[in-house]
A and B are shown apart, each in its own frame.
Chain A
Amino acid sequence: MAAIGGRHPLGTSAALHRRRRIDRLMRGSATAAAILAVAILGIMIGTVVVNGASELSIAFLIKDPPGGSLVGVAGGGIANAIVGSALLVVVATAIALPVGVLIAVYLTEFSTPRTARPIRMALDLLNGLPTIVTGIFVFGLLVASHGQSGIAASVALAVVILPLITRTTQEILLLVPKELRDAAHALGVSRWRTIAGVVLPGALGGILTGVVLAVARAAGETAPLLLTDSIFSARTSINVFGAAIPNIPIDIFSYSESPFPAEHAKAWGAALVLIAMILLGNLTARAMLSRQRRRLGWMPTSQR
């Protein structure tokens, strides 16, 4: 390179200047990309808060919508959907949690590489399953023969969150120190007592974190509910085995497609309620997870 030492024997060359300029440019672009992503999140949540706040009131939270032939009118609330969403999510978690924890226990405590592979693959495929396909599947499984119902929706949500619960549980089970298991074995404690008395209690916080994340995820899922639980009355209903149960995501979806401004306003109000619940859940889970990891001596990948 002829430019080296062109102006001064030990000075910086034009080529180095160019390299440094490119370096600054690229680093600046990467920073700008991160700022853009955070800005999008900020604008999105800001829009929901600004538009939703004007609709939000105590009445909105504790009243049912004006039912019957009154379409597109203001007033009323989404109490039926809040109760329904909570119920659907609780039932879905009750179905997915034991299965998910058992799978994680199998993978960490019992499996050999050969038996683990098909299970991991099934979980990966379940995790990648488009939620609308999950909805179609549960429609074919339950709704086609029995009609829309809360239990069908809960089963669909359980399928969505099962891989999530399994993954977080497995991650935390792997963090339980091997020495604890070895110590239990050395004392002659049987395998199941080790799992029930040592491994699972040690991982309890992590499992709860996974549950909170799963609840936040299930609360916002719309596509599976569209096919399994979307034609419901304006009344609060708590019978999961009966007719379809009102829920928040479908409310937002149908209000957002409505031609009436009053219903658009309701969509924003419902979106604010939903996003507040989900962000709260995520922040709680994040705080729990970092505490749990500190306790078990986990270090972020960037410091390993």
Chain B
Amino acid sequence: MSRRENTALPREVVEIGVVAGGLRRMVDRMGDRVAFGAAALASLAAVALIALVIDRVVSGAMPSISRFGIGFLWQTTWNPSLSSGVRDSNVYGAGVLVYGTVVTSAIALVISVPLGVAIGVYLSLLSSGRLAGVVGPLVELLAAVPSVIVGLWGIVVLAPALHSTIDPALHAALGWLPIFGKPGTTGLGIFDAGVVLAIMVLPILAAITRDLFANVPRELKDGALALGATRWEMIRGVVLDSTRSGIVAATILGLARALGEAIAVTQTIGAGTAIHASLFASGDTLGSRIAEQFIGAVSKLQIASLFYCALILLVMEFLASIGAQLIAGRSVRVRGAVI
């Protein structure tokens, strides 16, 4: 619209136009503010949510913290009985659970880290594009199977299969180690839970290491091959070597997943109450004890002690998350500086 046409308009129309323009500018300014405010508020809510989680869990655990203190971490008595005649009635300690959590997670990592890294190598470097396009999503689908179904499968299929094959074989070959004691014929145990956790951690490790390896600069890989290295020598010398800290970070993330899993472990660990040397015996973890006892808890102190277990998990999780970030962050910075 030219200026002349504009001036030809009646005065009222021009005024309406000016007012409308001003109105639009005002709406825009308000809109910008509202959009920014809403987005910032939501982001603030995420930070507040973490604070709220810590606050709720700590305050729920408080009676148990003040009663048992830090010794809760290694005391092995867990006795919800309320009858006064029983020794140590209503006394709680998470020693057995901390041990079970650490050992099941260790088993899970021993199995899943080499396998996960191997799958990452396969998906990023060895398979042709089309095959990787099928296998990759299938491995990721494994992560989508709900833990309650993995656990059900663990009870009915995996545990009996392990009991008749792997358990006796390990006992025969390495039976002189107390951890591979005589496997029982029935019943679930720490080893079953560890293998179930390995299956749940595997897709996480495979997905992270695949992306890690795919991002190693092509020139480095080609350079190694041009110098006469075989594919494996290139993978070992260039790819695995340059992504070492990334692999460690991925392992920590896998560990975090294994530490916190409750349902599938509850179903397969056999709900033991003592520490056994043998991995084939029953045990329990922090998460699975919460899942087993929370709803049927008989006293306030038992509930508080289960909150205390959750607090230990929370601290483990935060340490793992921060550790993974520090390590991965450093590796990214180092790589950025070199290339």
- Top 4 A-B residue pairs of the complex, sorted by shortest distance between their CB atoms: A130-B260, A220-B146, A102-B42, A106-B39
* Inter-chain contacts of B46 with A (CB < 8 A): 99, 103, 119, 122-123, 126, 162, 166
- A301 and B321 contacting across the interface, CB-CB below 8 Å: no
B318 within 8 A of A: yes
B35 within 8 A of A: yes
- B43 and A107 contacting across the interface, CB-CB below 8 Å: yes
Minimum Cβ distance to chain A for residue B123 (Å): 7
A275 within 8 A of B: yes
- A190 and B31 contacting across the interface, CB-CB below 8 Å: yes
Which of B7-15, B134-142, B276-284 sits within the interface? B134-142
- Which residue from B40, B152, B295 sits with its C-beta under 8 Å from A231? B295
> Provided the pairs A47-B153, A124-B325, A125-B50 are in contact, do residues A249 and B127 lie with their beta carbons within 8 angstroms?
no
Which of B77-85, B91-99, B226-234 sits within the interface? B226-234
Per the bound structure, the CA–CA distance linking A128 and B137 in Å amounts to 22
A110 within 8 A of B: yes
> Provided the pairs A130-B261, A190-B28 are in contact, do residues A141 and B42 lie with their beta carbons within 8 angstroms?
no
- A37 and B206 contacting across the interface, CB-CB below 8 Å: yes
A residues within 8 Å of B by Cβ? 19-20, 22-23, 26-27, 29-34, 36-38, 40-41, 43-45, 47-48, 51, 98-99, 102-103, 105-107, 109-111, 115, 118-119, 121-126, 128-137, 139-141, 144, 159, 162, 166, 190-193, 195-196, 216-217, 219-223, 226-227, 230-231, 249, 252-253, 256-257, 264, 267-268, 271, 274-275, 278-279, 282, 286, 300-302, 304
Closest to B146 in A: A220
Known pairs A133-B57, A256-B151, A274-B149 / 13 extra A-B pairs, C-beta < 8 Å: A19-B230, A31-B127, A44-B150, A47-B157, A109-B39, A122-B50, A124-B325, A126-B46, A132-B290, A137-B53, A141-B56, A271-B148, A301-B211
- B144 and A33 contacting across the interface, CB-CB below 8 Å: no
Minimum Cβ distance to chain B for residue A180 (Å): 17
Closest to B35 in A: A192
- A37 and B321 contacting across the interface, CB-CB below 8 Å: no
* Inter-chain contacts of B203 with A (CB < 8 A): 37
B residues within 8 Å of A by Cβ? 28-29, 31-32, 34-36, 38-43, 45-47, 49-50, 52-53, 56-57, 59-60, 114-115, 118-119, 121-124, 126-127, 129, 132, 135, 137-139, 141-142, 144-153, 155-157, 199, 202-203, 206, 211, 214-215, 230-233, 235-236, 253, 256, 259-263, 267, 287, 290-291, 294-295, 306-307, 310, 313-314, 317-318, 320-321, 325
* Inter-chain contacts of A126 with B (CB < 8 A): 46, 49-50
Per the bound structure, the CA–CA distance linking A300 and B215 in Å amounts to 10
Per the bound structure, the CA–CA distance linking A33 and B127 in Å amounts to 12
- B32 and A140 contacting across the interface, CB-CB below 8 Å: no
Closest to A35 in B: B135
Minimum Cβ distance to chain A for residue B48 (Å): 9
Select the residue from A105, A134, A137, A227 with max chain B CB neighbours within 10 A. A137
Minimum Cβ distance to chain B for residue A233 (Å): 16
* Inter-chain contacts of B259 with A (CB < 8 A): 130
